A and B are shown apart, each in its own frame.
Chain A
Amino acid sequence: MSVIKEYMSADHRACDESFASMENAVHDENWSEAKKLFESFASDLLYHFDMEEKVMFPAFEARSGSAHCNPTPVMLMEHEQMKKLVQDMRADIDSKNKEHFFGLSETLMMTMQQHNMKEEQMMYPMVDDVMQAENSMLLDEMKNLQRVDS
């Protein structure tokens, strides 16, 4: 059973959708809508990171115990890269700097997608594998995590 992989991959796609809507609003220079959609996207993205950082990664590390070839530090580093980009994008939306915003959004898009590939191809299958039958429980725990506003 690959419940973690399925749920989290679908959540990636949902974040992509929310990203595209936000970008499209900036493209149309509908700034109030863009701000709203941006905050909604940022909240979805950070919640996804939280599910991984606060629940999934610790559970995985505790179970696998393979510190020397543990993929979580790379995933965490890339989360930090993306959080920084989101902050910079917020500044561009506030100052209505469309051109610079699209430079950053393209950067975030590439970073996000190559990160998603690594997670979907390796990280999630590993977690499903390590957690065995308990992966559904872990997923419930991830879903029940409280959303913290960005």
Chain B
Amino acid sequence: MFKGLSTDQAPPIGVPFRFFLTAPIFAIFIATIFILYPQEVIFNRYTPIAIATVHLFTLGVLAMIIFGALQQMLPVLAGAVIKKEKLFATIVHINLTFGTLALSSGFLGSSTFLLIIGSTMLSLAFGVFFFTIIRLLFKVKYITSTVNAMKIFSLAGLITAGVGLYLLSSYITYDIGSNHIDIANIHISFALFGFAFILVMGVAFQVIPMFYVGQDFPKYIQNKFPRVVFGMLILFAIFTILGQDATPILNIVEILAIVFATYGLYILENRRRAVFDVTLWYWKLSLASLILSMILLLVDSKISTIAFVVAFGFLYSLLQGMMYKIVPFLSWFHLNSKGHFNIPNLREYIDAYNIKLQFIIYLSSIFCFILATIFNQMFLYMGSGLFIVSNILLMINLATATKTYHEISKLDPMAAFK
């Protein structure tokens, strides 16, 4: 009769962790491309190099972390349990990892064969992931604003992937139609505002008031924004296909994003918990970058500048902050549930100093990248160097927690009583 909560509801710790530990490797690949290729090729969105780079981020970093986190969060946020979770995670992780590598190498090396491999594997990863969670989400009996946002996010994700596959097929068949750019714009809009932004809203509605003890987001934002954004995206797609100028529709979405982020910052600033928490830096950087990127979009700024602010300022910083919350908690929670008593508390898995150091290096890399879009390639090299260091530190930080978890989990929980 009642499904959802059971003792085995949380997936094994290796399920989310393998996704989290893979993402920084893709981030390092991105910076390597920045070092190896000329700036004018990278910053021109129509070149295969730029397409490869963008997808190393959207698939290898963004989707990778989101897919890992959602497998953990669905049981908690929506009471939806994925059956055969290890098999599910393995299928999604392997196909997403190697599909992204094949797709990007296909674009970098102009290889149709690799593009075909990439599109097949990515279709599998996205298909299995979204069809499974959509089926689960539509079965949830007690609906909340987060469940609604997740449903819309999943539909947007499927549309993004479907349109992406169509675009890819035109590269594979060398049949690039006159409306290719229009379709690409639909793909990008659904990816940014549907897949990424709606999910961020859904998570923020729950996480910001709860973990930082702040006010709730106003009801109209919680209930209306995800639906309105999705509706606007559908309208944008229709207008674009009909050959009409659809920019004003996107402008509305951009303004909604500014309203959302401003509220989020306001709630964080007025939170009840005074105690310092380094993940606040990531949230604030993320929301401030969202506002900045939307303003840059509204004033029609350089696309390369916007891309850096959106990808690294808004999205990746938020995901890093989220991983720094999730990884120590899961380590503690799984050890505690296994009956281990004398275990480190949440602040003892990763040294706060190392997180701060990683944040500062990461932030500096973003500044360099933005400067590179205005000045010259030297800043791109500097940014790439800092970005690689920050991602290595991120991996070390996450791996340190994982190592502590594995060391303790090997011990006999009853040894303390013998």
Which residues from chain A sit less than 8 Å from chain B, CB to CB? 16-17, 19-21, 23-24, 26-27, 64, 66, 69-71, 73-75, 77, 81, 100, 102-107, 109-111, 113-114, 116-118, 120-123, 125-126
Contact = CB atoms under 8 A, between A and B. Distances in A.
A107 B1 contact: no
Given A77-B7, A110-B346, A118-B5, A23 B211 contact: no
B345 interface: yes
B275 interface: yes
A57 B175 CA distance: 63
B333 interface: yes
19 contacts: A17-B272, A20-B213, A21-B272, A23-B273, A26-B275, A64-B2, A69-B5, A73-B7, A74-B7, A74-B9, A81-B337, A102-B275, A103-B344, A106-B347, A107-B345, A110-B346, A116-B210, A121-B78, A126-B142
B345 A123 contact: no
A66 B345 CA distance: 35
A123 B5 contact: yes
Given A69-B3, A122-B142, 8 more contacts: A16-B210, A17-B213, A23-B274, A24-B273, A69-B2, A71-B2, A81-B336, A117-B77
Interface centre among A16, A69, A77, A122 (most CB of B within 10 A): A122
Contacts of B277: 106
Contacts of B348: 103
Contact of B332 (A20, A100, A107): A107
A27 B333 CA distance: 25
A74 B6 contact: yes
Interface of B: 1-7, 9, 76-79, 141-142, 144, 146-147, 206, 210-211, 213, 272-275, 277, 325, 329, 332-333, 336-337, 344-348
A66 B7 contact: no
Given A64-B1, A110-B329, A103 B141 contact: no
B401 to A, nearest CB: 13
B4 A122 contact: yes
Contacts of A103: 344-348
Nearest to A120: B144
A130 to B, nearest CB: 9
A104 to B, nearest CB: 5
A38 to B, nearest CB: 14
B142 A104 contact: no
Contacts of A113: 210-211
Contact of B206 (A23, A107, A117, A125): A117
A106 B6 CA distance: 25
Given A71-B2, A81-B336, A105 B210 contact: no
A109 B147 CA distance: 23
B356 to A, nearest CB: 15
Minimum-distance CB pairs A-B, first 6: A71-B5, A103-B345, A20-B272, A103-B347, A125-B142, A107-B346
Contact of A20 (B1, B273, B329): B273
Contacts of A107: 329, 332, 345-346
A71 B337 CA distance: 16
A121 B150 CA distance: 14
Nearest to B206: A117
Contacts of B273: 20, 23-24
Nearest to B336: A81
B275 A27 contact: yes
Given A23-B275, A103-B345, A103-B347, A118 B210 contact: no
Given A110-B329, A121-B144, A122-B142, A69 B1 contact: yes
